[in-house]
Amino acid sequence: MAVAAFEDAWLEAAYPDEECGCPVEEWVCCGVSLQIHYEPDGSMEVFADTGDWDHTFALKASTMEAARSEAFAWARGLPCSDDITGGPANG
């Protein structure tokens, strides 16, 4: 069962990576699935999946909370259909 953590993001799963033991968290933020893989040096790799496309990117954060914040900011920065079309169609 997902645990609500933020208004627009929730934790789906948290576990150690099978190969390296690093912490991994799976979040959904703004409809984007984010798998965040934390390295001991503070670097992280994020695997983002929207259902239509996916993207992998690296971020640097000093804490896990900061890492989440950066990943969520990236997802929140994506244009949504209202941003692209100028809003919902009228009547």
Give per-residue pLDDT as tens, 25-74. 999 998 899 999 988 887 889 999 988 889 999 988 878 888 888 899 99
pLDDT on residue 6: 66
- As for how many domains the chain has, the answer is 1
pLDDT on residue 42: 76
Inside any domain, residue 89: no
Inside any domain, residue 81: no
Tokens of 45: 């790799």
Domain that residue 15 falls in: 3-73
pLDDT on residue 49: 93
CA dihedral sign, ordered 59, 25, 35, 12 = negative
3-state percent breakdown (helix, strand, coil) of the chain, nearest 5: 20, 40, 40
